[in-house]
Amino acid sequence: MTAARLIVYGDFNCPFSALASRRAAHLERLEIATVEWRAVEHAPDIPTQGRPVEGRLAADYARELDMVRDLLAPGEADVLRLPPRLSNTRLVTARYAARTDLRERLFAAYWHEGLDLGDEDTLTHLGAHDSDDATAARWHDEWRATGSVVIPTMVDGEGAIVPGFDALAHLAWLAAPRLRGDMGGEAPCFAHLLDDE
């Protein structure tokens, strides 16, 4: 059986993307799919220094984490924790573009350890020393060219664009066909930050 070839666009500060990344890693370990993960900065209006996760932002993040928990398939662990800071992901996206082997480590650093992925010293400590701004910019342009404004967005081997919850459902379906079904709609990951676009 030939492994599926997928492209997935996601952002490190998005809990839906964190779930998509875990599912993509599972598919790769099972040799069901090869996944090209392309990090994108989906909310460029986040200040460079980030924002404390408090007030409305904390409530929004907590709501999204509850939605992710509702999407977990049997056997998928509930491992995401509310981070103390909403990171601007411009720098980590460029650093990841130079070190794509760090994807799982970067998600864990943010969602398990609460580290600020907008902080240069933190990224250096995690092994993300170099930047590839050109690749990061290309990924962003290609994501926008899909017509999707949500993440995760998946492009399957035939070029079909699958956004949001449907992308998460498709990744689960590939790993466990018994989980087939429509989870419906697009993931609202920080949709409130995209209202002006």
26-57 residue pLDDT tens = 999 988 999 999 999 999 999 999 999 999 99
**pLDDT level of residue 195 (50, 70, 90 thresholds):** very low
Q: Which residue from 182, 144, 141 is spatially nearest to 161, judged by alpha carbons?
A: 144
The better pLDDT of the pair 70, 184 is held by: 70
pTM: 0.89
174-188 residue pLDDT tens = 887 534 344 444 544
Task: Enumerate helices (H) and strands (E) in the chain, giving the number of each.
Answer: 7, 6
Do residues 174 and 27 touch, judged by C-beta distance below 8 A? yes
Tell whether the model's pLDDT for residue 87 goes beyond 80: yes
Tell whether the model's pLDDT for residue 194 goes beyond 70: no
Omega before residue 152 within 30° of 0, cis: yes
Domains, the chain, ranges and CATH?
A: 4-194 (3.40.30.10)
Helical axes 103-111 vs 90-98, angle rounded to 10°: 150
Name the token pair of 37: 């993960």
